[in-house]
Amino acid sequence: MPRVGGYEAMLWVDGMPKGTFATKIVVTRHGNHYCDMLCAQADPARSMDVALEFYAGHPVPGRAPFEPDGPLGGEDAEAFSFQAQDILICTKNQLVADFLFDLRVLLQLAEMLDENSFRRAGVLNTLAQVHRTLYLSPQAVDRETWLESLRAARAVMAPALACRNGDSAPHAALLGHSHMDTAWLWPTAETVRKNARTIANQLSLMEQYPEYRFLQSASCHTAWMQREYPALFERMREAVAQGRYEMNGAVWVECDCNLVGGEALIRQFLWGQRYTRDTFGVLSDCFWLPDTFGYSAAIPQIMRGFGVKYFLTTKLAWNDTNTFPYETFTWRGIDGTDVLAHFFVMDTWPTQGGCWSVSTASATGTACTTNRSPTRGSSPSGTETAAAAPSLR
């Protein structure tokens, strides 16, 4: 764990990208990666070459250079200078980590479930038993006694964690994804490095958690890795071959769909699909477009022409004027072509500020209604239509 200034860094171990860091004081939804794995099995006889590559930042475009808060004055005068203190190296105690994650799941269940539900009552009883089992202060007893109380507390939690919903409950498959803007408020060269940091982090997670899966969109980003980080790219290729790293998204970059013409959209799919086919032997089946506003009504026809049958976005949920009524629906294009479309109404994990706030807002009619899957597309007014594209107008 490095204790330094700055925001984000790449961890290099023996010349190989191994993960990303974000300073511990920056605790945001964009990540709090303040510690990374150096190696899975430490060997006292092994020496490692460890390096940190930090992103220093840059002036924000659009401000006059000599304004008090501009890129050449005021706070920005020190924008590229950060102090490095030290680096802390430790051994991860898997028992402690497993206990914390088990406890967090039960605490979230207790917070989210209806206060009158039997399931919540059972969880609360389990948590009370954990409280009676655990030595709350590691300093109160010797180390092994405290760790043994953690093992006993995990055994208490195990039956509650093993409980399942009924047979009619849906199956949810979860996988990781990191949305990265190809060009936004920083130089494209930094986007390349950002991709390398992110991908290195996913491969590190796969090393720690064999069940972990990740979805990579935007073929352009993968091509950057092939050109700029060939050793990292080969690790990606191995993970793809193992079925753990999914290449999907269908297009070269997650593109604008309002200003461009049909030929430009077709070439996005052509370049994206051709690259993943030639490089990995796979074709995408989903047009992954989480962060683009507005969608041409010709998209379903273009998608189907490239063998893409699913569409995903989030931006319909950002509309504050005419709320779109569906989350999962069939989108019918102007020529009658259908694709299955879905958009997220949340993009965080299930905490009080995540899916809970969305679901309660839906119940009061202030957000998109959940659990509705019409068989036809929908216009912004909520009336069913056979040939309308979802719109933010």
Cβ-proximal residues to 271 (8 Å cutoff; 6+ apart), any chain: 219, 251, 252
**Long-range interactions of 163-171: CB distance < 8 A, separation 24+:** 163/119, 163/122
**Predicted pLDDT at 78:** 56
Query: In angstroms, rounded to a whole number, what is the distance separating the alpha carbons of residues 160 and 173?
Result: 21
Q: Domain residues of the chain, as ranges?
A: 2-87, 94-162, 177-359
List per-residue pLDDT tens for the chain, 393 residues long: 777 777 788 999 999 999 888 765 555 555 567 788 888 888 889 999 999 888 776 655 555 555 555 544 555 555 556 777 888 888 889 999 999 999 999 999 999 899 999 999 999 999 999 999 999 889 999 999 999 999 999 999 999 999 988 888 888 888 899 888 898 877 888 899 999 999 999 999 999 999 999 999 999 999 999 999 999 999 999 999 999 999 999 999 999 998 889 999 999 999 999 999 999 999 999 999 988 888 899 999 999 999 999 999 988 777 778 888 888 999 999 999 999 999 887 655 545 444 545 444 444 443 333 333 333 333 222 223 333 333 322
What gap in Å lies between CA 133 and CA 372, rounded to an integer? 44
Residue 232 structure tokens: 């990292």
CA dihedral of residues 58, 61, 67, 68 (deg, nearest 10): -40
Catalytic residue among 14, 86, 181, 291: 291
Whether the CB-CB separation of 374 and 325 falls below 8 Å is answered with no
Other beta carbons within 10 Å of 288: 23
Instruction: Write out the two tokens for 225.
Output: 């890795």
Nearest to 6 by CA among 72, 67, 55, 64: 55
pTM (2 d.p.): 0.80
Neighbours of 259 (CB within 10 A): 9
Q: What is the largest CA-CA distance in the chain?
A: 72
Going by C-alpha positions, the residue among 291, 282, 287, 392 that lies closest to residue 337 is: 287
Of the candidates 225, 314, 305, which has an alpha carbon nearest to the alpha carbon of residue 273? 305
Closest to 387 measured CA to CA, from 340, 331, 343, 339: 331
Q: Which residue has the tokens 């370049």?
A: 271
Give the architecture (CATH level 2) of 177-359: Alpha-Beta Barrel (3.20)
Element holding 206 (H helix, E strand): helix 188-208
Contact 247, 284 (CB under 8 A): yes
Whole-angstrom distance, CA of residue 254 vs CA of residue 265: 11
The answer to whether the CB of 58 falls within 8 A of the CB of 187 is yes
Instruction: Collapse the DSSP code of 228 into the 3-class scheme (helix H, G, I; strand E, B; otherwise coil) and give the result.
Output: helix
**Torsion angle of alpha carbons 254, 255, 256, 261, nearest 10°?**
-150
Alpha helices in 242-386 (DSSP H): 262-280, 299-305, 355-363
* Residue 18 burial (C-beta neighbours within 10 Å; 0-12, 13-18, 19+): buried
What type of residue is 319?
N
Active site residue 291: yes
Question: E strands within 79-220?
Answer: 84-87, 176-177, 214-216
**Would you state the pLDDT for residue 12?**
92
Two tokens, residue 379:
């216009």
- DSSP code, position 128: H
